[in-house]
A and B are shown apart, each in its own frame.
Chain A
Amino acid sequence: GAVVSQHPSRVICKSGTSVKIECRSLDFQATTMFWYRQFPKQSLMLMATSNEGSKATYEQGVEKDKFLINHASLTLSTLTVTSAHPEDSSFYICSALVQETQYFGPGTRLLVL
């Protein structure tokens, strides 16, 4: 299957700072990528759909000004958590769409102190 990477794998930051998470498709080009969030003992929740060269589409309840998504190339999408707070601590996972199938990255664990 297609390989998707994320960087960093884990990050700890202070409250009020911003954190950028990168999602890369390693062996294919992805016009569409997705960002999910998963809290402990819960399932994945879709945050937004990222399309190369256009604005991301956010799910209801997800603040677009807080979670900035940039999909500037066909192999890279970034999620920036701005002014992070402890409640933003979570497991952030991206996926890339290849034909009919989404392939997921390994996830980024964010801890905001």
Chain B
Amino acid sequence: DAKTTQPTSMDCAEGRAANLPCNHSTISGNEYVYWYRQIHSQGPQYIIHGLKNNETNEMASLIITEDRKSSTLILPHATLRDTAVYYCIVSSTGTASKLTFGTGTRLQVTL
């Protein structure tokens, strides 16, 4: 699986958009970009994933650059409950869909 690079930590004011970047310059053509988050002492929560098109769901938007070497997770209106470690992971799908977790970005949402 391709490696990803994320900032160690970020701060965001409550109510503002949180934009979390991720670099994955060695991503392969059949690998998806997945985003998960982990709130302290809980299992990871799936947020969103995509291959090359931008994706949006009720939680977030995922913007993938045209060359697929980087992406940005956008939480449109961050709340205190969004404080967590956010993991960007690239992985192929199917039975080979192992997820390799890096260190992620610790997002702190503040008042």
Contact A100 B49 (CB under 8 A): yes
**Known interface pairs A43-B103, A43-B104; A103-B46 also in contact (CB < 8 Å):** yes
With contacts defined as CB atoms under 8 Å apart, how many contacts are there between chain A and chain B in the complex? 54
Contact-size category for A: 20 to 34
Contact A1 B104 (CB under 8 A): no
Interface 1/0 per residue, A54-72 and B, CB below 8 Å: 0000000000000000000
How many chain-B residues does the 8 Å CB contact rule pick out? 23
Contact B103 A93 (CB under 8 A): no
Residue of B nearest to A31 (CB): B95
Choose the segment among B8-16, B19-27, B36-44, B61-69 that binds chain A (4+ C-beta atoms closer than 8 Å): B36-44
Contact B95 A32 (CB under 8 A): yes
Say which residue of A34, A49, A101, A109 sits within 8 Å of B46 (CB atoms): A101
